[in-house]
Amino acid sequence: MLERIRELNPGLNAYLTVSEEKAIGEARKAERELCGRSRGTKRRDRGALHGIPVSLKDNIYSAGVRTTGGSKILAEFVPEDDAPVVSSLEQAGAVILGKTNMHEFAYGVTTENPHFGATHNPWDRGRIAGGSSGGSAAALAAGLCYGSVGTDTGGSIRIPASLCGVVGLKPGLGRVNAQDVIPLSKTLDVVGPMARTVEDSTALFRAISVERKNKHASSSGRFLSTRGRFTLGIPREFFFDVLSPEVELGFEAAVRLFEKLGARFREVSIPLLAESEEAGNQIAWAEATCYHQEAGWFPGRADEYGEDVRTRLEMGIKVSAVDYLRACSLAAKLAGSLDSVMRGNQLDALLVPTTPIVAPRLGEDSVAIKGRKHGTRALLLRLNRPANLAGVPAVSIPCGLTRGGLPVGIQFIGGLGEEHKLLGLASRFERACPLNRHPTLDNETGDK
């Protein structure tokens, strides 16, 4: 894996820091434990992640390893302690390869980083990888790690997962410890797994979730049965108002496949979806600016931020207390209405597209859909914000490729505590429609 990073990372810019010596040390420890080579000790198997190379988004504290948050301000910051999520990975025996590139301070959806350079999409290096966990998704798609841990405030796990053709789980609020992770919006931030398959994402989630330490976890932690019928809701409003034709085709194909797998579909109506984008903005703008002010960076070091992040921090100053509180109230109402719709219709999950478009080109600030231009950032956030605002889990998985060879993603949105149910549904789909192709990179031969 380290050899592959050396060969391919320069063209992708997926990693900012590679901890080669530390990773080799962890791998040797795993080998000794698994083979029982430590003097006077028995063989020890820590589980599915033991000895498996994974990466971390560069806003997650890791002791002795540079953690930049994708920023100039923290370019040389080295934490003294691991974040709890890193400790959980190490207890599970995972080998941490290094830290992946990201949108500056996780405050964007493209990973076009002004300080460390853009991450390139392995399917087409002229396109974005998505963000803010873009380096993690690109590393996975290119085979530069077997799993990664990212963060998601408005789609930052699911957007790059969709654009790069990998699996990304946004857990519900509080399901993974977010301590010692550089925050964007403390009300909305979650930490979650990314991988190339649902099975691998599940192994990561089990290792890092709070359930791991709770022996009395509820039955919602079990997978949905792989047999029998299940019911998926398709919202009538919002999610399908603005879709590119290629994403629409991909979603329709996924629906047909699910019908063959025994799914029942119900059209549902969820109030307040249209208001979710603005409410999410008000909360994120205010909380991000508050954090950067308390850290002593803004506005005193404003010239050290990229233009897009600096502009959003300036917007945060203008959010009134009334607007912030109204947005928080709307978030609670959206969570209640979503729960009511799910229970009232006996839904296992909602099924919707992850992003309205496939990966846009680097620097492409707007995209035309059916003759009308839309801002790229707003498009990529649009279908992801509702799950963040409601605090519920959502998982994005690939549902195929366009004629041009770019991945399309679909997402399942579930009820509180139902991450494993969503992963079970995703696993059913993946087994029936695996993404057998992976990007062929310029300095490789054959279909990887």
Torsion of CA 156, 160, 166, 170, to 10 degrees: 10
Residue 11 lies in domain: 2-432
- pLDDT at 42 (0 to 100): 83
- pLDDT at 446 (0 to 100): 37
Tell me, yes or no, whether 440 lies in a domain.
Answer: no
Taking the C-alpha atoms of residue 391 and residue 41, their distance in angstroms, rounded to an integer, is: 44
Angle between helices 419-432 and 198-208 in degrees, nearest 10: 160
Tell me, yes or no, whether 103 lies in a domain.
Answer: yes
Contact assessment for residue 25 and residue 38, using Cβ atoms and an 8 Å cutoff: no
How many C-beta atoms lie closer than 10 Å to residue 373's C-beta?
A: 10
One-character DSSP codes across 78-113: --SS--HHHHHHHHTT-EEEEEE--SGGG--SS-EE
Torsion of CA 149, 151, 155, 160, to 10 degrees: -40
Number of domains in the chain: 1
Tell me, yes or no, whether 447 lies in a domain.
Answer: no
Residue indicated by tokens 């990773």: 23
DSSP helix/strand/coil, 253: helix
Which residues, given as ranges, of the chain have pLDDT below 50?
214-226, 445-448
User: Could you read off the pLDDT of 247-296 as tens digits, one per residue?
Assistant: 999 999 999 999 999 999 999 999 999 999 999 999 999 999 999 999 99
- pLDDT at 445 (0 to 100): 40
- pLDDT at 448 (0 to 100): 36
Tell me, yes or no, whether 78 lies in a domain.
Answer: yes
Contact assessment for residue 412 and residue 224, using Cβ atoms and an 8 Å cutoff: no
User: CA 180, 182, 186, 188 torsion: positive or negative?
Assistant: negative
Q: Which of 71, 156, 185, 244 is catalytic?
A: 156
Show the tokens assigned to 345.
């219709």
Is 132 a known active-site residue? Answer: yes
Contact assessment for residue 108 and residue 131, using Cβ atoms and an 8 Å cutoff: yes
Q: Over the chain, what is the mean pLDDT? A: 94
Taking the C-alpha atoms of residue 209 and residue 49, their distance in angstroms, rounded to an integer, is: 14
- pLDDT at 214 (0 to 100): 46
Q: Which of 19, 62, 88, 132 is catalytic?
A: 132
One-character DSSP codes across 289-354: HHHHHHTT-TTTTGGGS-HHHHHHHHHHHT--HHHHHHHHHHHHHHHHHHHHHHHHTT-SEEEEES
- At residue 308, what are phi and psi to the nearest 5 degrees? -65, -40
Show the tokens assigned to 265.
């579909």
Tell me, yes or no, whether 441 lies in a domain.
Answer: no
Taking the C-alpha atoms of residue 376 and residue 357, their distance in angstroms, rounded to an integer, is: 9
Show the tokens assigned to 134.
């873009």
| Terminal-to-terminal C-alpha distance of the chain | 14
- pLDDT at 219 (0 to 100): 34
Tell me, yes or no, whether 343 lies in a domain.
Answer: yes
The CATH number of whichever domain residue 119 belongs to comes to 3.90.1300.10
User: CA 145, 416, 110, 433 torsion: positive or negative?
Assistant: positive
Q: Which of 57, 72, 170, 421 is catalytic?
A: 57
Is 42 a known active-site residue? Answer: no
- pLDDT at 231 (0 to 100): 97
User: Could you read off the pLDDT of 112-128 as tens digits, one per residue?
Assistant: 999 999 999 999 999 99
- pLDDT at 63 (0 to 100): 97
* Whether this model's pTM surpasses 0.85: yes
- pLDDT at 441 (0 to 100): 83
Tell me, yes or no, whether 448 lies in a domain.
Answer: no
Tell me, yes or no, whether 226 lies in a domain.
Answer: yes
Nearest to 430 by CA among 122, 143, 167: 167
Show the tokens assigned to 115.
């300080």
Nearest to 30 by CA among 3, 10, 54: 54
Give the ranges where 52-186 is alpha helix by DSSP (H). Answer: 84-91, 134-141, 158-164
DSSP helix/strand/coil, 148: strand
Is 156 a known active-site residue? Answer: yes
Contact assessment for residue 60 and residue 149, using Cβ atoms and an 8 Å cutoff: yes
